Amino acid sequence: MRPPRKWLMFTVLVMTSLAWGQLTDGERSAVTILENYEVIPNITYLVANNHENKLDIYRPNTAKSPTPVVMFIHGGGWVEDNKEEDVLDLLPYLQMGFAAVNVEYRLAKVSLAPAAVEDCLCALHWVGLNAKKYNFDLSKIIVTGGSAGGHLALTTAMIPPSAGFENECAYHEDENWDGPWTNARPNVAAVVNWFGITDVADMLEGAPNTRSYAVAWFGSLPNREDLARRLSPLTYVRSGLPPIITIHGDADHVVPYVQALRLQDALNKAGVKNQLVTIHGAGHGDFNLDQEMKAFEAIKAFLAGLGITPVAK
């Protein structure tokens, strides 16, 4: 649903440089990540409809205390892409010292809505259940993603257990967990929303901003309009939500910029700390280097203001 961020391809330069002394500061940073991070790929966090949902872990191997963690959810309109597609988007967070959990979920060809939302909620449960094993700091969980991934980041942080989308998470194999299964879901400390969908119902057939990917996600389900409202972040805006920073181009024709404005307005009225970073003239994630830097500078400052900072090494 969106082009890759080409500036992150600086990692290629690291592989082709002849000596450490020839590396730029950015390349040195990438080498440091390679040396100091452990990768644990393809962990099954949920089996649903006979489909194994997997995630990858990237964690600093030199951390002396529990590490802030970013849970990353890929985009693709709920109908395409995979967790490997946007893996380079994790680099700025790794450079800041975070651990990362890169999540895949059921696409429409496997299961229609609300499967993707259910899966990401279960991935958050998994993070809570496995925090001690992987040295995650549960007081500093960030959820992020772009486009449909932004939508799923928002719903993961905003949808309450009472909405009924976490029943898939009830069974797990952690024999050390002896509390109510709903208590396994940790609180999210912040959401970094990259041009995510905030009103799903507005994108269904016949709605003002109809989008084919949204129509495909619901297929011929009989209760599409009601379910779409139940899966819309705007439905769950209320006081007490985690802080949310949104990055959105005001020329985005895939996810209308007005959805970011509506989210900002609703969050302001509810008294939820939030920030909208508008990328003027930009479309659906096709940001240039300066625009990307502007966005990440804002994200870093936003997280620092919340006390979510890298762990001591």
The β-bridge partners of 223 are none
In this prediction the pTM is: 0.89
In the predicted model, what is the mean pLDDT of residues 289-306? 96
Residues 56/45, Cβ–Cβ less than 8 Å: no
In the predicted model, what is the mean pLDDT of residues 122-126? 95
Predicted local confidence at residue 179, as pLDDT: 53
Q: Where are the domains of the chain?
A: 6-305
Which of these, 77, 101, 92, lies nearest to 7 by C-alpha position? 92
Q: At what angle do helices 148-158 and 115-129 cross, to 10 degrees?
A: 60
Share of the chain above pLDDT 90, in %: 76
11 pLDDT more than 70: no
The DSSP symbol for 237 reads: -
Q: Give per-residue pLDDT as tens, 23-45.
A: 566 555 666 666 789 999 999 99
74: phi then psi, degrees, rounded to nearest 5? -70, 160
Q: Give per-residue pLDDT as tens, 83-115.
A: 999 899 999 999 899 999 999 999 999 999 999
**In terms of CATH, what superfamily is 6-305?**
Alpha/Beta hydrolase fold, catalytic domain (3.40.50.1820)
pLDDT band, residue 254 (cuts 50/70/90): very high
